[in-house]
Amino acid sequence: MFKINYIGKSDIGLRRSNNEDAFAVKPELAFAAVADGMGGSASGEVASSIFIDTAVDVLSKARNRSVQDTAESVQKVFQLSNGKIFKTAEENTSHHGMGCTAEVLAFFDQSYVVGHVGDSRTYLLREGQLRQITRDHSVVQDQLDQGLITKANARNHSLRNIILRAVGVREPLDVDIIRGEIRSGDIFLLCSDGLTDRVEDALIMEVLLLSVDLDHKADHLIDLAKSAGGQDNITVTLCEVV
């Protein structure tokens, strides 16, 4: 059996007056999650908090006996939170239009399951190489896929904040579910776009390869995003297979 170490940290950044990100790391439930709220005022905080609370509730009650059960539990997190956020926004006009992007990473036996919506991301560092295992649900990503722009163009694109899919915005919700096998030495990174909008993948990989503990790696990543402007909230969770 593998052991998995977890760490999670969130920072308000240098430009925002509140933190609309939320996260959970739950070793006892074998999962981690990140949510990045949107909607202005306190609404983003409400949406991300609903998502994280729902994730903890669903996965604490789950009776996962297989990878398929785990995938169904992750799917349930997104569908239930989507309905809760949507309903809350309908019932309270001050929350109209709120939602969140979100990542859930759950482990079962020697496998992992990722649930993904929006432009928060999940990465996997394996054998010295970093790979983004989620695909952004964004206008810019679509243009990249079509070859209309380059990665260099994407970082400062005027439409880079336009999201095509988010939790709580409409029903039904289409969720990306990604499965794979874990290996000793794997490090998974779940993060909000406050990190990836400011710090390039190559530099993220350098930090994850450092011979320091997860706590220091998380701090280093957040410091890099702040040094590059810190224009958004920055949330990082790391899960290391040992």
- Position 118 scores a pLDDT of 97
Tens of pLDDT, residues 140-192: 888 888 888 877 777 777 777 789 999 999 889 999 999 999 999 999 999 99
pLDDT at 141: 86
Instruction: Give the residue-averaged pLDDT of 7-30.
Output: 97
pLDDT at 229 over 90: yes
Taking only the tens place, the pLDDT of each residue in 54-80 is 999 999 999 999 999 999 999 999 999
Q: Which domain CATH number covers 165?
A: 3.60.40.10
pLDDT, residue 1, reads 76
Structure letter (DSSP) for residue 163: B
Q: Is 48 helix (H, G, I), strand (E, B) or coil?
A: helix
pLDDT in tens, 95-146: 888 999 999 999 999 999 999 999 999 999 999 999 999 999 988 888 888 8
Q: Give the number of other Cβ atoms within 10 Å of residue 90's Cβ.
A: 10
Residue 197 has pLDDT above 70, yes or no: yes
Q: pTM for the whole thing?
A: 0.96
Average pLDDT over residues 210-234: 97
Give residue 181's domain range.
Answer: 4-241
Distances (CA, A) of 82 to 118, 136, 168, 220: 13, 18, 4, 33
pLDDT of residue 162: 87
Measured distance between the N- and C-terminal CA atoms of the chain, rounded to whole angstroms = 10
- Nearest Cα to Cα of residue 40 among 97, 119, 103, 101: 97
Alpha-carbon span 187 to 189, nearest angstrom = 7
Closest to 176 measured CA to CA, from 102, 229, 242: 102
Strand extents, DSSP E, the chain: 4-11, 21-26, 31-38, 99-108, 111-117, 121-126, 129-132, 176-181, 187-191, 234-241
What is the percentage of the chain residues whose pLDDT exceeds 90? 83
What pLDDT score was predicted for residue 112? 98
Strand partners, 33: 24, 104
The mean of the pLDDT values for the chain is 94
Domain count, the chain: 1
Q: What is the mean pLDDT of residues 34-62?
A: 93
2-15 residue pLDDT tens: 999 999 999 999 99
pLDDT computed for residue 41 by the predictor: 62
The pLDDT of residue 96: 86
- Given the structure tokens 């509730």, which residue do they identify? 57
User: Are the C-beta atoms of 113 and 178 separated by less than 8 Å?
Assistant: yes
